[in-house]
Structure 1
Amino acid sequence: MATISATSSIRFCSSLKLSSSTTLQVNGRTSTVKVTHAGWKSKSFPSLRCTGFRVSCSAKPETVQKVCEIVKKQLALPADSELTPDSKFAALGADSLDTVEIVMGLEEEFDINVEEDNSQNITTVQEAADLIEELISKKSGA
């Protein structure tokens, strides 16, 4: 006759992931089954709410490079200036007018239209590149 015993453990891996594992012993052999669920069941955790789930990817390296070139040109930075995706426009010496000119250069280069609300949220090279990728994907999907 087979002897079976089971133990379960549940742990939270991140804000949106619930991981559980169950250990089974059959005739002295141990086997572990792991199951991962994304999201919450509202009845189980009424105080935790998940209103949506969004997967976001960083912009392509080519897009980031083009943004760097446009920023260098608009701010008259030396060609050997080192810009990274985390470079902040303000730290590079850009004021609000410079930022508007950068956005206009991006619109022209990528043939996109950046809403005024979105342009006010752009403070780094990466944010600009991510917005460009988003607008291009919306444009091609429309």
Structure 2
Amino acid sequence: MASIAGSALSFARPVKATSANLLSFSPARKGNAFLRMQPVPMRLAVSCAAQKDTVDKVCEIVRKQLALSDGTEVSGASKFAELGADSLDTVEIVMGLEEEFGISVEESSAQTIATVEDAAELIDKLVNEAK
């Protein structure tokens, strides 16, 4: 049985995939080995714990508070700062959310809100706690 103790493993540059070389382990030089791996398309999955209805309402409120044009896309991943909101705008958004959902957001919680998703998740949490 061959020992690879003291040998180093390194990742080689990806090569064109064939059925024979999807994953291969071969010695590059005596005493060293390398692992050749093929690239796999990355899929970005965004998961949001908030309900879709809540996210949609938050998007509407953000669009209204910031007076955004219809062409400006607002989604769960939208950051308030990227939409042009300053700290006063963020406070007004939180106030609008409190009024719309009949909740009260503590200042410490309000400071952690940076995206539409953050706001929607906090709202769902507060609404569920109030039940």
Coarse TM-score class (shorter-chain normalised): 0.5 to 0.7
Listed as ranges, the gaps of 5+ residues in structure 2 are: 1-47
C-alpha displacement of 1:58: 0.8
Alpha-carbon distance between aligned partners in 2 of 1:107 and 1:119, rounded to the nearest angstrom: 11
If the length of structure 2 is used for normalisation, what is the TM-score? 0.62
- Code of the residue aligned with 1:126 in structure 2: it is E
Matches of residues 6-45 of structure 1 in structure 2 within 5 Å?
Answer: none
2 CA distance for matches of 1:100 and 1:59? Answer: 21
What residue number does 1:33 align with? none
1:118 is the counterpart of 2:109: yes
Q: Does structure 1 residue 75 correspond to structure 2 residue 76?
A: no
Cα distance, 1:82 vs. partner? 1.1
Any idea what SS the aligned residue of 1:100 has? helix
The partner residue of 1:134 within 117, 125, 128 is 125
Segments of 4+ moved more than 4 angstroms: none
Q: Percent of counterpart pairs with the same letter?
A: 62
- Cross-structure match for 1:104: 95
Cα-to-partner distance string for 1:28-56 (whole Å, 9 max, x where unaligned): xxxxxxxxxxxxxxxxxxxxxxxxxxxxx
Residue identity opposite 1:116 in structure 2: E
Offset of 1:123 from its aligned partner? 0.3
**Which amino acid in the other structure matches residue 60 of structure 1?**
Q
CA distance in structure 1 between the partners assigned to 2:75 and 2:130 by the alignment: 27
Which secondary structure does the structure 2 equivalent of 1:67 belong to? helix
Identify the residue that residue 66 of structure 1 maps to in structure 2. 57
The Cα shift of 1:84 comes to 1.4
Extract unaligned runs of 5+ from structure 1. 1-56
Structure 1 residue matching 2:112: 3-state secondary structure:
coil
Structure with the bigger percentage of strand: 1
Q: Report the alpha carbon displacement of residue 78 of structure 1 after superposing the two structures with TM.
A: 1.1
Higher relative contact order (CA 8 A, sep 6+): 2
How many positions carry a matched residue from both structures? 84
